[in-house]
Amino acid sequence: MAEVQSFDNLLACRNLLKASVDNSTALALALDKTGPRIAELDQKLTFLEMAIRPGGSKNCTFAAVRDHISLALGPSAAVLKILDSIRELEKSLLSDSLPHSDIFSYISTIKQFEDAIKFLTANCNLAIQWLEGVIQFLEGNSVADDRYISKVKRSVAILEELQATGEQAGRNGELLSGAFAKLEISFKQILTESNAPLGFTNSSSPWTAEQAYNAALPLPGPILRKLQAIVEKLNTGNRTNSCISVFIEVRSLNAKNSLRALDLDYLENAVEEYDDVQDMEGCIHEWSKHMEFIVKCVLESEHMLCKEVFGSLASGAWTGCFAKIAVESGILLFLRFGMSIAESKKSPTKLLHLLNIFSVLETLRMDFNKLFGGESCNEIKTMTRDLVTKVVNGASEIFWELPLQVELERRSSPPSDGGVPRLVSFVTDYCNRLLDDNYRPILTQVLRIHQGWKYEKYEEGLVTNQIYSIVREIAVNLDAWSKAYERKALSYIFMMNNHCHFTSLKGTKLGNLMGDSWLNAHGNYKEYYSALYLRETWGKILASLTLDNPDSSPKMRLMAFNEAFDDLYKKQLNWVVIDESLTNKMHKLVVQALVPAYTSYLQKYRVVVEHRSDVFYTVQSLETMLNTLFKAKQVKYTSSTIGSHLTGEQRNAVIDQLRLTLTAM
C-alpha cells in the first residue's frame, strides 16, 4: 500500500513539472518538491537492490545491478544539492527591488542561476543514462519482476521531465525573462541619470584637439562598466534589441539638448530671406562654429559611447546605433543648410560663401571619414558627397565667369557725380578677399579638385592670371564709362577718382599682386587727369582776367569772370572726390590758381570794384566757396571688407546686378 502511495506521489510531481513550463511560480514549486522525489528514488533504488539481492546462483548479476545503481545515485544526489542552490537563487532573482544599485551582483546571480540550471540538466542526463542501463540490464537478465522495472522507468520519466524543465528555464523561462527585463529597466535608468548635455563655447577660434577630446569623453568609467556588463549579459539571452532602442532614444535626446542652447533658426530659413550680404556671412560663420561643435564634440562623444557600450557585440550593432543617433541629432539639417547655399542663385558673394563652406567641410573631413565611414551612415555620406560636389562645381563656375561678368557691366552708366563706380569698388575689394590668406588656399584647392575631376592638369598661377583678367576688364570698363560723360571736366574727375582708387590699393593683396609699376602708373594718371581738370575748368575762366581784351572794359571782364565762376561752381556742386587728401590737394591747387590772380585784379581795379562791390565776389567769399567743392557726397575709401564703403542697400544693389548678370550667362 505504501508503494502505491509513493508511486502516486511521483505521478503528481510529474504533473507539476509539466505545468512549470508555462508558469514560473509553478516551476519554482516543482523544483522545490523534486528533492524529496529524488530521495524517494534513491530509497527505491536501494530497496530494489535489496529485493534482487537473494539468490546465490545470481550473485554476479546482482553485483552488476548494484554497480549500475551506485553510479546512478551520484548524479541523483547532485541533483538534490543543485535544487537547493536554485531555490536560494530564485529568491534573489524574484526580488521586487531593481538591481541597478548593485548591478554586478545581480548579473552574477543570473549567471549562477544559469550555471545551476545547466548543471541540473547535465546531472539529470547522467542519472538517466545509468538508470536506463539498470532497466536494460534487469530486462535482459530477468533478475526482477515487472513491478520493480516499472518503478525504475517511472523514476527515469521524472528525471527526464525535470531535465526538460531545466532546459526550458535555461532558454527562455519566465524567471530569466523577468531578470533580463529588470536589467533592461536598470540600463535605461542608469543611462538616463548619467545624461549631461555638452556646453557650447561661443568662440571665434576653432576647437583645439584637447578641447574636442575633453568634450568627447564618454560617461564615467563606473557607469560605462555597468552598461557594458548589462549589454554583455543580455547578449547571452539575445535581448540586446531593447537596450539598443533605449540607448538611441536617450542619447539622441541628449544630443538634441546639447544643441538646444544654440540659436539654430537660421538653418530653417531660405537663402532668399536674408536681406543683407553680411547677414548671410554671419549665418555661415555661425554655421561653421556649430558644425564643428556637433561633429567634433557631440557626435564624437556619441560615437565613442556607442563603441564602448555595444562594441563587444559581434553583429557590429554599435555602428547602426550611432548612425541613428547622428541623424536624430540634426546633422542632416546642417548639411541641408550648406546645400541650400550651394543651390542658390549665382553671385560673386556666393563664391565666398561656398569657399567658407568648403573650408569647414575640409577641416572636418577626417572626422567625417571616421564617424560616418560605415555603411550604416550611407545617408549622411551621400548628402556630404553631394554637398562637396555642388560646392566645388559652383565655386569654380563662378570664379571662371568673373571677367566676363565684369565685361557685361560695361553697358551700364557711370556715376553722375564722377565718383568710383560701385562695381569697381566691389570688385577690387572682392579680389583682395580672394587673394588673402583665408580664401586663396581654399580657392586653389577647390580649383585643383575641379580640374582633377575633369582629368585636367592644374597649372600654378591660375588664380593670379584670372585676377589679372578681372582687373583688365575693369580698366576697359573705365575707359568706356569716361567717354559717356558730356562734360570733359567731369570725365577727368571720374578718371582721377578711379586712378586714385587704384593707387590706394598699395599694401593690399591686390596691390602687391599688380606690383609697384602698376600702382605708380595709376598715381601718374591721377596727376595727369587732375591737371586736365584744372585746365579745362578754372584755367579757362582765369583767362578772362589775365588776358587783355581791348574790346572789353575791366568791369566787363570782372563781371564775366564772376558769372563764369558762379556757373562752374554750381555745375560742380554735386561732383565728388573720393579721397580726403586728394580733395585737400585739389582745393589748394584751385585756390593757388585763382585767388592770387583774382586778388591782384581786384587791387588793380579797386575803383571799379568799390563802385560795384555788390556784384563781385570778395577774395574771402571766393576762397570759401572753392573749399566747399567736392564735399557733397565725399566717401573715404577703405578696403577692409567687401564693399565696406558702400551702404547695405548699395552693396546689395551691386550684388543683385551681378547676380542677374551671372544668371543670364
- Taking residue 212's Cβ as centre, other Cβ atoms within 10 Å add up to 18
Contacts of 516 (CB under 8 A, 6+ apart): none
Compute CA 625 distance to the chain's CA centroid, rounded to the nearest angstrom.
61
Query: What percent of the chain is predicted at pLDDT more than 70?
Result: 64
Q: What is the mean pLDDT of residues 393-404?
A: 95
Higher pLDDT: 106 or 536? It is 536
Higher pLDDT: 233 or 392? It is 392
Is 411-631 in the same CATH topology as 61-184? no
Half-sphere exposure of 612 (CA within 13 A, CB side): 11
Length of the chain (residues): 665
Compute CA 505 distance to the chain's CA centroid, rounded to the nearest angstrom.
38
Compute CA 98 distance to the chain's CA centroid, rounded to the nearest angstrom.
39
Q: How far separated are the first and last CA of the chain, in Å rounded?
A: 111
C-beta separation of 395 from 358 below 8 A: yes
pLDDT beyond 80 at 173 = no
Q: Exposed/middle/buried for 631, CB within 10 Å: 0-12, 13-18, 19+?
A: middle
pLDDT beyond 70 at 171 = no
pLDDT beyond 70 at 471 = yes
- Taking residue 352's Cβ as centre, other Cβ atoms within 10 Å add up to 24
Query: What percent of the chain is predicted at pLDDT more than 90?
Result: 36
CA distance 483 to 479: 7
CATH number, domain 411-631: 1.20.1280.170
Least confident of 199-213, 290-304, 598-612: 199-213
Q: What is the mean pLDDT of residues 142-159?
A: 63
pLDDT beyond 90 at 463 = yes
Task: Report the chain's mean pLDDT, rounded to a whole number.
Answer: 78
pLDDT digits (tens, 9 = 90+) for 591-608: 888 888 888 888 877 756
Place of cell 571616421: 370
Indicate the pLDDT class of residue 560, thresholds 50, 70 and 90.
Answer: confident
pLDDT beyond 80 at 328 = yes
CA distance 279 to 270: 13
Query: What cell numbers appear for 377 in the block?
Result: 551612415
pLDDT beyond 50 at 124 = yes
Structural domain 61-184, CATH architecture = Up-down Bundle (1.20)
Compute CA 88 distance to the chain's CA centroid, rounded to the nearest angstrom.
54
Query: What pLDDT, on a 0 to 100 scale, did the predictor assign at position 156?
Result: 66
Per residue, the 3-state secondary structure of 406-467, as one string, reads HHHHHHCCCCCCCCCCHHHHHHHHHHHHHHCCCCHHHHHHHHHHHHHHCCCCCCCCHHHHHH
pLDDT digits (tens, 9 = 90+) for 517-532: 999 999 999 999 999 9
Query: What pLDDT, on a 0 to 100 scale, did the predictor assign at position 260?
Result: 84
- Taking residue 608's Cβ as centre, other Cβ atoms within 10 Å add up to 19
Query: What cell numbers appear for 54 in the block?
Result: 537473494
pLDDT beyond 90 at 394 = yes
Q: What is the mean pLDDT of residues 332-343?
A: 94
pLDDT beyond 60 at 9 = no
The reported pTM is 0.74
Query: What pLDDT, on a 0 to 100 scale, did the predictor assign at position 16?
Result: 38
Domain boundaries along the sequence of the chain: 61-184, 201-364, 411-631
Query: What pLDDT, on a 0 to 100 scale, did the predictor assign at position 649?
Result: 52
